[in-house]
A and B are shown apart, each in its own frame.
Chain A
Amino acid sequence: MASPAARAPRTAGRRRSPTAPPRAFLWTRRIFLTALTGFVLLPVYVMLSSSLKPLEDVSGAFRWLPSELTIRPYLDIWHTVPLARYFLNSLIVAGSATVCSVVVAVFAAYAVSRYRFRGKRIFTVTVLSTQMFPGILFLLPLFLIYVNIGNTTGVALYGSRGGLVLTYLTFSLPFSIWMLTGYFASVPRELDEAAYVDGCGPLGALFRVVVPAALPGIIAVAVYAFMTAWGEVLFASVMTNDTTRTLSVGLQGYATQNDVYWNQVMAASLVVSVPVVAGFLLLQRYLVAGLTAGAVK
């Protein structure tokens, strides 16, 4: 934020502006940020470099650089485990959970941010508190419910993608409602009223005015919900079977009894990370703005 006028004396090495930070601060900053960057990027470097190594390189003592560069791991990952199927499962499950929770949350958040009604407080407190509950609390009962429904009606919820989507709503729904309520509250009510004057009903005002105005927030919530579902391990490890397994569980398949194909594990990790990291970097601004609107206020 330093204006050119304030920066000029510093580079010139003459009298420093009183608001310019002292040299000790600049050095501390340089050292701290370098160390932190190293810490943050270390696993990323290992992921990338190991994914390009032959198996001998990752089985023996660690090497910083590959003895030879190879893209074999990237070809082999699709055969060692059915990675494409896991990918598709993850995409379907995370996508459905995201769409479902965001759509439902849009209506709920609109009601909470625009209307006074009996039971509003109970609803918001319930939504807020379920967010802090551990997933394991819902996992055990849901598991038993699914097993029971399967036994009595023959509907196989346990192990199905639909059943997994439902369990993902335990964390994505309260989060979406909470964030969107905060976001909708920041859309001025005068906009709704203008829509009413123009002849819109409440739903018209929601879809023609509030949703477009809060679109960055909705995108942020969707990105976040998708990321969380894409990385979920607990429900996926219990509620899936061979055909519905998602990436978070499927990646364990690269460890056989005799050997772990670390180069393939790293290649697969990189491949499954690329879509979410790319999406995150593209939509980062919305996410940051959305998180702060929802979390800070």
Chain B
Amino acid sequence: MRGFTRLRRVGLPYLLLLPALLLELLVHLVPMVIGIVMSFKELTQLHIAHWGAAPWKALGNYRVTVDFDAPVGATLLHSFVVTCAFSLLTVGLCWLLGTAAAIFLQENFRGRGLLRAVFLTPYALPVYAAVITWAFLFQRDNGLVNHVLHDQLQLTGDRPFWLLGDNSFLALLVVSVWKTWPFAFLVVMAALQSIPKDLYEAAALDGAGIVRQIRRITLPSLRPINQVLLLVLFLWSFNDFNTPYVLFGKAAPEAADLLSIHIYQSSFVTWNFGTGSAMSVLLLLFLLVVTAGYLLATSRGRKSDG
């Protein structure tokens, strides 16, 4: 009897985990293993129906993807650079807007609750509905952006294209910042609530101005949360598929060719799953290295602080 209860106590956590373990296996681990196997095979449209029997290509797919002089590698490298620039800019701008808005809403004033709800709206809207609306704003002939810039302010000589050519990077960035910054706002706002009020009062009585209070009290208190926030924002924007796909369709313009769209296109439009998988595996390795490096660097910084 006692042995039975012991077994139950030891076994219980595993029993509770069982459904999660099975599903994790099904939706994450098995697909990942298969994805890695796929990256070593020749999976063009000839072989997709019976991909198990597809010819082995060893490192062939990887060789093609990292050969930066050949077309496949060259466009991948370009897409990688675009994605890095896009993510870093998105993270920076979202953090700036979110932190500034959270600091300005820290103190209570009339309309604060309403503004908070307004600022969270982009976050609540379904991604595709919001991005389709932005696509409408950026239309060349009937969009609001050109109407304001060209018809009303006459800042541009001709109606520029926003969803084609180099401008598309800017359009993508604006949409991405618009829908992501409320998350930074939300997190920073929550973190600000844990800073004791008397710290500010003491600083104010000592004659510290508002800028100095923000620099000396607010920003240092936000450091631990910022470390997590910046990483999460980076991973999100680096992996974002929804925004470019709804804004541009299956093939993004060269200037806004994010990696997720690029891999999607290499796989489902040109039907080469082998190279698509190789690109996915490389992307995963890159993200793992960046995340591990970032976590190491920030945790070391934290240790030397305390």
Residues of chain A whose beta carbon lies under 8 Å from any beta carbon of chain B: 1-2, 18-19, 21-22, 25, 29, 32-33, 36-37, 39-44, 46-47, 50, 58-62, 104-105, 107-108, 110-112, 114-115, 117, 120, 123, 126-127, 129-130, 132-142, 144-145, 147-148, 151, 166-167, 169-170, 173-174, 177, 202, 227, 230-234, 237-238, 247-248, 251, 262, 265-266, 269-270, 272-273, 276-277, 280-281, 284, 288, 291-292, 295-296
Contact = CB atoms under 8 A, between A and B. Distances in A.
Given A2-B108, A151-B49, A247-B126, A40 B14 contact: no
A1 B107 contact: yes
A144 B34 contact: yes
B62 interface: no
B276 A140 contact: yes
B134 interface: yes
Contacts of A280: 120, 123-124
A134 B280 contact: yes
Interface in B72-103: 97, 100-101
Interface stretch (B139-147, B162-170, B298-306): B139-147
Given A136-B264, A137-B280, A137-B284, A148 B17 contact: no
Contact of A166 (B27, B97, B126, B178): B27
A144 B242 contact: no
The main secondary structure of chain A at its interface with chain B is helix
B289 interface: no
14 contacts: A36-B101, A62-B146, A135-B241, A137-B31, A138-B27, A138-B31, A140-B267, A166-B27, A170-B31, A231-B126, A231-B128, A233-B242, A273-B125, A277-B124
B56 interface: no
A284 B129 contact: no
Interface of B: 10, 12-14, 16-17, 19-21, 23-24, 26-32, 34-35, 38, 43, 48-52, 97, 100-101, 104-105, 107-108, 115, 117-130, 132-134, 136-137, 139, 141-144, 146-147, 151, 178, 186-187, 189-191, 197, 200-201, 204-205, 209-210, 225, 228, 232, 235, 238-239, 241-242, 245-246, 259-260, 263-264, 267-268, 273, 276-277, 280, 283-284, 287-288, 291
A273 B280 contact: no
A233 B287 contact: no
Contact of A132 (B38, B101, B235): B235
Contact of B104 (A32, A110, A139, A269): A32
Contacts of B52: 148
Nearest to B191: A296
A47 B49 CA distance: 43
A72 to B, nearest CB: 18
A247 B108 contact: no
Pick the 7 closest A-B CB pairs, nearest first. A292-B190, A108-B20, A62-B147, A280-B124, A269-B129, A134-B239, A111-B16
Contacts of B34: 141, 144-145
Nearest to B242: A233
A202 to B, nearest CB: 6
A122 to B, nearest CB: 11
A117 B137 contact: no
Nearest to B105: A33
Contacts of A273: 125-126, 129-130
B280 A140 contact: yes
Given A58-B136, A167-B27, 9 more contacts: A29-B104, A41-B118, A61-B141, A173-B27, A174-B28, A233-B127, A234-B242, A248-B126, A272-B129
Nearest to B243: A233
Given A1-B107, A25-B210, A296-B191, A117 B14 contact: yes
A4 B187 CA distance: 29
Contacts of A177: 20
A33 B107 contact: no
Contact of A269 (B123, B133, B191, B268): B133
B26 A277 contact: no
Contact of A40 (B178, B209, B259): B178
Contact of B107 (A21, A145, A151, A231): A21
A36 B96 CA distance: 12
Given A61-B147, A108-B17, A32 B35 contact: no
Most buried by B among A138, A166, A177, A281: A138
B68 to A, nearest CB: 21
Contact of B225 (A123, A142, A288, A296): A296
B142 A61 contact: yes
B12 A233 contact: no
Given A50-B136, A170-B27, A234-B242, A104 B125 contact: no
